[in-house]
Amino acid sequence: MSFWRDPIIFIIEWAKGLLAGIGWGPGWATIVGFVIGAFVLATGAMFFVVFLIWYERKLIGRLQDRFGPNRLGPWGLFQPIADMLKIFTKELITPSGVDWIAYNLAPILSVAAVLMMWAVTPFSKTFFGVNISVGILFLIAVGGLGEVGIILAGWGSNNKYALVGALRAVAQLCSYEVPFVISALVPVMLTGSMSLVDIVEAQNPWYILVAPAAALVFFIASVAETGRAPFDLAEAESEIVAGYNVEYSGLKFGMFFVGEFLHAFTASFIFVTVFLGGWRGPGADQIPVLGLVYFMIKTFIVYFALILFRGTNPRFRIDQMMDLNWKVLTPLSLVVIMVIALVDRLFASSADWLRTVILLAANLVILVVAERLIRRGVKTTRPEVGSRERPVASPDNLFIQPGSGAKG
Amino acid sequence: MLNDWLYVGVFALVSMFLPAAAISIAALLSPKKPNSIKNATYECGMEPVGPAWAQMKVQYYVFTLIFLVFDVEAVLLFPWAVAYKQLPLYAVVEAILFILILLGGLLYAWRKGALEWL
């Protein structure tokens, strides 16, 4: 294996050789290798956040017609590093009356839950932490662990706003778990395995082309799981101050921040893994490092879509959000899974391309019907507000300057 | 197989350790000047009124029950989905009937008004 075809595996093999050369038994060498590998991957993820913060702030700035960070370094690239250095030296205020264990465990857990998702994701053909046979269930379970962090933060802070925020977060995350899990069944069904490595290998047309309706539900539900705008009711500044993290300061607050950004990025690469073919692309089978490049490109495209989603939508009201979940996404995902199961079984003996086309058509029909039904259910006529004629500054003759003496 | 889960366990420990270590470093670097006003519970600048652990409405209870039903359903469906490629048409139709019954339950809850957030 040459270095340029797969540098990461080359380095890993070299490190394994080095560990074996020390003269430990194979068991100890494996464990030490695991610890080092986990450290490198998790630390890499933590430092990657610094770049993500810059990327997101820059994009949000552009979306809001601002420049975004542009002072420190080229294009403001060093701004988040400066922020990070600053936040390390901020005082960690612990309010009186907090539940000490819950209060301090919450920021750790909310980052750890997201980091653990990196352990099972295949970044390229050869580069992944581990290939467990229940990968997608593991992702869902670990995602649920993040909610525990939020509940601990809300409960442990001894603050009313924090408690309200935490309970909102629980309601939201519990609800959106349902369409998330059910639409995640579709790739499992089409692959016949829950392992993420197998799911990526099996995507010969990407699953977004086979099941776009399931992909749409999965995307919306995973945005809601990350708890950012337009689903950021748990930390609505204008209603409940800052939600579950009111009482946090310094790096403990920073950890919630890191957890949120990392979760957004992680959600986008899970979407890429499950529906957009992961590392698949021309030439990625022969040269694994190309797979990593494709994976990153796709992930950043999805992440860009996620930021666009965040930057252009106003925050939902809580009843609207629950309605969207229980009255639209959940029935839709149930219908999608039934239709896909039936259609795929009925056309199992026909050619692959024909089955793909039929599944795509069935999905599009579901989407169109769902759109019609939603339009019927939603009140589109709105009471007219401010219908009275208002004075508008519109000059009759644009060429006459005010105060030039001529009559308009 | 066991090795894989060992890696997951190691990764879980490391991912708990990293933020904990960062917070400990920050605790060493940061100034510590607590006083009673700074440490008071935040409530828009006023003295906190009453206990913080307020009661929430019962609506959550209904939503959580529905959530529980669908989560258990998903747990039942995952093995079915893994075995889907080998299943006969009969087993697929049976699973669809199962989902239809649950969908009926969702519609019933909807008509009963359990899905209205008040």
Tell me if chain B has a CB within 8 Å of the CB of A318: yes
Reported as a single tens digit per residue, the pLDDT across A319-348 is: 788 888 888 888 899 999 988 888 888 887
Q: B12 and A66 in contact (C-beta within 8 Å)?
A: no
Please give the pLDDT value at position A83: 86
Contact B66 A326 (CB under 8 A): yes
Please give the pLDDT value at position A2: 67
pLDDT band at A398 (very low <50, low <70, confident <90, very high): low
Report the Cα A211 to chain-centroid distance in Å: 20
Q: A39 and B14 in contact (C-beta within 8 Å)?
A: yes
3-state secondary structure of A122: strand
Q: What is the mean pLDDT of residues A85-90?
A: 86
Please give the pLDDT value at position A167: 83
Contact A93 B102 (CB under 8 A): no
pLDDT band at A382 (very low <50, low <70, confident <90, very high): low
Tell me if chain B has a CB within 8 Å of the CB of A251: yes
Please give the pLDDT value at position B110: 85
Q: What is the mean pLDDT of residues B7-36?
A: 85
Find the range with the poorest average confidence among A72-76, A236-240, A289-293, B4-8: A236-240
Closest approach of A171 to chain B, Cα-based (Å) = 7
Q: What is the mean pLDDT of residues A377-393?
A: 65
pLDDT at residue B16 is higher than 80: yes
Please give the pLDDT value at position A201: 84
pLDDT band at A317 (very low <50, low <70, confident <90, very high): confident
Contact B11 A129 (CB under 8 A): yes
Please give the pLDDT value at position A145: 84
C-alpha atoms less than 13 angstroms from C-alpha of A91 in its C-beta half-sphere: 11
pLDDT at residue A406 is higher than 70: no
Find the range with the poorest average confidence among A81-95, A134-148, A216-230, A281-295: A281-295
Please give the pLDDT value at position A198: 85
Please give the pLDDT value at position A408: 45
Question: Chain B residues with CB inside 8 Å of A163's CB?
Answer: 52-54, 56
Whole-Å CA distances, A30 to A19, A33, A36, A337: 9, 5, 10, 41
Task: Pick B117's closest partner by Cβ from A188, A318, A335.
Answer: A318
Please give the pLDDT value at position B118: 66
Reported as a single tens digit per residue, the pLDDT across A9-61 is: 777 777 777 777 776 666 777 777 778 877 888 888 888 888 888 888 888 88
Reported as a single tens digit per residue, the pLDDT across B73-88 is: 888 888 888 888 888 8
Please give the pLDDT value at position A379: 65
Q: A102 and A166 in contact (C-beta within 8 Å)?
A: no
Reported as a single tens digit per residue, the pLDDT across A235-254 is: 776 677 777 887 888 888 88
Question: Chain B residues with CB inside 8 Å of A109's CB?
Answer: 16
Predicted ipTM of the assembly: 0.86
Closest approach of A83 to chain B, Cα-based (Å) = 13
Cis geometry, peptide bond prior to residue A314 (ω within 30 degrees of 0)? no
Q: What is the mean pLDDT of residues A183-190?
A: 89
Please give the pLDDT value at position A403: 63
Supply the mean pLDDT for chain B: 82
Question: Chain A residues with CB inside 8 Å of B67's CB?
Answer: 174-175, 177-178
Domain ranges of chain B: 2-111
3-state secondary structure of A260: helix
Beta bridge partners of A128: A122
Please give the pLDDT value at position A380: 62
- Domain B2-111 sits in CATH at 1.20.58.1610
> Best interface-test mutation with B: which of A326, A333, A340 has the largest number of B CBs within 10 A?
A326
pTM for this structure? 0.85
Q: What is the mean pLDDT of residues A209-214?
A: 87
Tell me if chain B has a CB within 8 Å of the CB of A107: yes
Supply the mean pLDDT for chain A: 82
> Best interface-test mutation with A: which of B4, B18, B24 has the largest number of A CBs within 10 A?
B18
> Best interface-test mutation with A: which of B7, B60, B99 has the largest number of A CBs within 10 A?
B7
Listed as own residue / partner, the contacts of B10-14 with beta carbons closer than 8 Å and 24 or more positions apart are B10/A31, B10/A34, B10/A35, B10/A38, B11/A34, B11/A38, B11/A41, B11/A42, B11/A115, B11/A116, B11/A118, B11/A119, B11/A129, B11/A130, B12/A112, B12/A116, B12/A119, B13/A38, B14/A35, B14/A38, B14/A39, B14/A42
CA-to-CA distance for A23 and A123, rounded, in angstroms? Answer: 31
Tokens encoding A265: 């990025």
pLDDT at residue B106 is higher than 70: yes
Give the number of beta-carbon pairs within 8 Å between A and B: 222
Q: What percent of chain B has pLDDT over 90?
A: 2
pLDDT band at A397 (very low <50, low <70, confident <90, very high): low
pLDDT at residue A405 is higher than 60: no
pLDDT at residue A137 is higher than 60: yes
Reported as a single tens digit per residue, the pLDDT across A69-80 is: 888 878 888 888
pLDDT band at A294 (very low <50, low <70, confident <90, very high): confident
- Residues with Cβ within 8 Å of A23's Cβ and at least 6 positions away in sequence, in order, are none
pLDDT band at A386 (very low <50, low <70, confident <90, very high): low
Find the range with the poorest average confidence among A13-27, A90-104, A106-120, B30-44: A13-27
Tell me how crowded residue A94 is: count the other CB atoms within 10 A of its CB: 17
3-state secondary structure of B51: coil
Report the Cα B2 to chain-centroid distance in Å: 27
